[in-house]
Structure 1
Amino acid sequence: ALTAAPWFASLLMPDILAPALVLALFLLGFGGDRLGRAELWVLGLVAALAIAAHLSHLPIAAALLLPVALLRRRWRAVLRCAAPLLAAVLLLLATNWAVHGRLALSPYGAVFALARLVADGPAARTIAARCPEAGWHLCRWAGRLPADSDQFLWQDDGPVWAPRLDGATPGGPISLAPEAAVILRETLAREPLAVLRAAVANTLRQLGMVRVGDTLGPENLQASVARQLALGFPAAEQRRFERSLQAQGKLPEAAAPLLWPHCAVLLLGALAALQAGVDAARARDARRLGLLLCVLVGLGANAAATGALSRPHDRYQARIAWLLPLAGLLAWRCGVPVTAVRDEAIGDPLR
């Protein structure tokens, strides 16, 4: 394959649902007049499940309402795209209420945002300025907080997982979440411009990180996959996992000959998408232009949701970047003369 799509289709993570979400909402927004009722319901269900599968998909879905509203100018098209987003929000609220007893989209999402702002500096400065008077659990790490957000989140003896001195609650994101929310609010009030600058810088950095490599190594497999296999799978399955190329650290080398075309294809795809966008705008072809804009908005929203709120990783952008050459190819193949697209005109009230 010439893109990262097959690697993410086979990855046991919700990453492949990010591009699926972009395509589903495009079809709901721009293809509703050509789809049957059953097809629309299936697309809506796919979109709702994709949004609910990962919190980073919420801002992506919200951002995709913009090109639909801008180009279609039809409230029904916008509602078809907004309905899965609303359904996903209700599903997340209900499940978190049932499981965690909290009516929230994420019961401990503040911890992940705090890890990012600690690594960027603003939250670390807030903690240093307010401790020890604030009495926070994180005051124990004032002046020596990890500069890496992954270390902040996952080190066994780090700020998140270390036992609390009061012994009232165990370590972990859930117990730290209330304190993290307070620190986030104070940080945003103290240094709003610094937070904004860091978010923009991380978003731009994330946009350029599109390689597959950081999904291929054995890092963290023992604490995730191996642990789950030991809990509920036969010993033979565990042995097969241990003999896999990824578990042995050999997958990056084996995959290298298959990965070299990816960046070239993305570059060619970007050029094709640019030309197709110019052609679609000249032809006033709302459907082709909508596809390209949905993909571009999806790429930008994905970079902001992952890079700015978590940490820039190649995996986060590579999971969705392959939509760019796909959109360029589809838009180019579907090009038709101007005289044949009068009913596709942008904002045509009859559509």
Structure 2
Amino acid sequence: MPVPVSPIPNSIIRAMAVISGPDRFRRTVARPRRRAGEAWLLAGSALLLLWPALDNGFPLIFSDTGTYISQAMELHLGWDRPPFYSFLLLALDWGRTLWPPVIAQCFCAAWLVRRTQSMVFPESGGIAGAVAMALLAGATALPWTAAQVMPDIFTPIMVLALAIMVLDDDCTWLERGALMAVIALAIAVHLSNPPIYAGLCLTVLVPRAVLFRRRVPWFGVLAPFAVGVAALIGANVVASGQMSLSPYGSTFLLARLLADGPARAVLSRDCPGAGWALCRYRRDLPRSADGFLWRVGSPLYRAGGPVRLIGQTDAIILRTMRDEPVTVARDAARDFVLQLTIFAPGSGLRPWRATAAATIRRDFAPATVRALNGSLQARDELRVPLVMLVVDRGGALLGLAITAGFVGVSAAEATLHRLRTGMWRLIDARLFTLSAIVLLALLGNAAVTGALSGPHARYQSRVVWLAVLTGALTLQRVYSARCSRPISTTT
């Protein structure tokens, strides 16, 4: 006769489930808790990145902020920048307050930083995430870029989105869609981003697919690039009837060639015979590229303006490159190196009363104007603490050294292994590729902005914090390796 078996109490089943390791019960409990923890971490990280704007009492502004606000609100298209960041501002702030755009920027940056850390170290918990974000918020230019009403933050987050898209096979379809949207938006909002992104694809993804035979999600990488480029070309077709990414972008190169000297020499030699409108003002040319581009009464505008002069601008550039190739190449290399070395958080924290502030007063509600007038920046009292400037430079240089050192050691070890065995082997393929992408992005950013437009501290500041992130991840990898190293004992 069978012995009746009493059912096992639910409490014992739950206890056994916990002891036995990760199973269905444990996953159903742990995943919601982890998602909730990550949500709180992202919210706290976004708030941490927002601290310069909170301290200022208003989102940080730059001279170009005025144009980005007015393009959508006043329905005009400037010659020097695309309108898509302006559309984004209007979609987020509804013409009432500038806080939603910078909050969204800080949240997006925090998400991609945390997602990058989780990709390299899936076991990273909330404490590791909080430490990484505190480091970036307190010792780099990231919060000063993310909290500013400018599209500069889209350059570094585009780099991280590309790295995650390529390296993380565990992305959900929702995450991939969000990453593609970030990349497409980054391509469309700033003219320096398409060449930087294209350069990364050529220097990283092609070797990855051809040499290392690694999978590359070509659709996820190239589709957002195509969408962003199509949006830029479409906007220029509508505005000027030209199928071009930047119909008047060569004006920036002319300004740099004039400031460096070779184009000035061409004007002195070939005028007035060349018949260029700038010949009349060749003795009154400003010494700086910014003076030529933006100064009231600049010869650029007295001679007719960037739009009307674009044909002559291209002719002067071609003549300069033909007649002064060595000088042009030497100056471009010098500006490239200079752009690599100059960076500082909070570059350009002036009141901008005649540009951005005037636009805000014209287009926004009185409450927003009062908040702007009461901010530290409007009173010309907003300053980056000296200790932060020192820490930012020291941290960036240390991060660059660690990142470059890790890439160099990993490449050397992989090459030796290839020579011995005929196969490639990397110490940490994911961290190696991420670090290589970051280093190439820093070089590409300096080449596009410094060599073409002219060196400015804010250009490199927007991306140099990526090296601090990869440097910190490399140190975390070293620490994890030491902790997991087996301890040998002798008897």
CA offset digits 1:55-86 (Å, max 9, x no partner)? 11122101111122223435743553233222
Say whether 1:227 aligns with 2:363.
no
Counterpart for residue 381 of structure 2: 250
Secondary structure of 2:355 counterpart = helix
Counterpart for residue 346 of structure 1: none
Counterparts of 1:288-327 in structure 2 under 5 Å? Answer: 288-327=431-470
Q: Distance in 2 between matches of 1:271 and 1:154?
A: 37
Residue type of the alignment partner of 2:189: A
Counterpart for residue 91 of structure 1: 231
Counterpart for residue 323 of structure 2: 190
Q: Distance in 2 between matches of 1:201 and 1:38?
A: 44
Q: Distance in 1 between matches of 2:288 and 2:221?
A: 37
Counterpart for residue 159 of structure 2: 22
Say whether 1:211 aligns with 2:344.
yes
Gap runs ≥5 in structure 1: 165-170, 338-351
1:148 is aligned, of 278, 282, 288, to 288
- Provide closer, same or farther for how the CA distance between residues 25 and 43 of structure 1 changes in structure 2, counting only shifts above 3 A: same
CA offset digits 1:68-109 (Å, max 9, x no partner)? 222343574355323322222111111111122221111210
1:68 is aligned, of 205, 213, 236, to 205
- After TM superposition, give the deviation of residue 3 of structure 1 in Å: 0.8
Would you say the 8 A contact 1:292–1:327 is kept in 2?
Answer: yes
Gap runs ≥5 in structure 2: 1-137, 414-424, 482-491
CA offset digits 1:162-203 (Å, max 9, x no partner)? 2x4xxxxxx432222222112111111211221111111000
Q: Distance in 2 between matches of 1:161 and 1:240?
A: 34
- Provide closer, same or farther for how the CA distance between residues 242 and 275 of structure 1 changes in structure 2, counting only shifts above 3 A: same
Say whether 1:111 aligns with 2:254.
no
Would you say the 8 A contact 1:276–1:332 is kept in 2?
Answer: no
Counterpart for residue 268 of structure 1: 398
Counterpart for residue 132 of structure 1: 272
Would you say the 8 A contact 1:124–1:143 is kept in 2?
Answer: no
Q: Distance in 2 between matches of 1:37 and 1:270?
A: 33
Counterpart for residue 422 of structure 2: none
Counterpart for residue 342 of structure 1: none
Residue type of the alignment partner of 2:277: H
Report which of the two structures shows the higher radius of gyration computed on alpha carbons.
2
1:277 is aligned, of 407, 413, 422, to 407
Higher relative contact order (CA 8 A, sep 6+): 1
CA RMSD of aligned residues (A): 2.2
Q: Distance in 1 between matches of 2:397 and 2:317?
A: 38
- After TM superposition, give the deviation of residue 315 of structure 1 in Å: 0.6
- Provide closer, same or farther for how the CA distance between residues 304 and 39 of structure 1 changes in structure 2, counting only shifts above 3 A: same
Would you say the 8 A contact 2:200–2:437 is kept in 1?
Answer: yes
- Provide closer, same or farther for how the CA distance between residues 37 and 25 of structure 1 changes in structure 2, counting only shifts above 3 A: same
- TM normalised by structure 1 equals 0.86
- Provide closer, same or farther for how the CA distance between residues 334 and 132 of structure 1 changes in structure 2, counting only shifts above 3 A: same
- Provide closer, same or farther for how the CA distance between residues 180 and 302 of structure 1 changes in structure 2, counting only shifts above 3 A: same
The worse-fitting range, judged by mean Cα deviation, of 10-19 and 208-217 is 208-217
CA offset digits 1:14-50 (Å, max 9, x no partner)? 111110011111112222x222233222211211111
Residue type of the alignment partner of 1:301: G
Counterpart for residue 41 of structure 1: 177
Residue type of the alignment partner of 2:466: L
- Provide closer, same or farther for how the CA distance between residues 333 and 302 of structure 1 changes in structure 2, counting only shifts above 3 A: same
Would you say the 8 A contact 1:5–1:319 is kept in 2?
Answer: yes
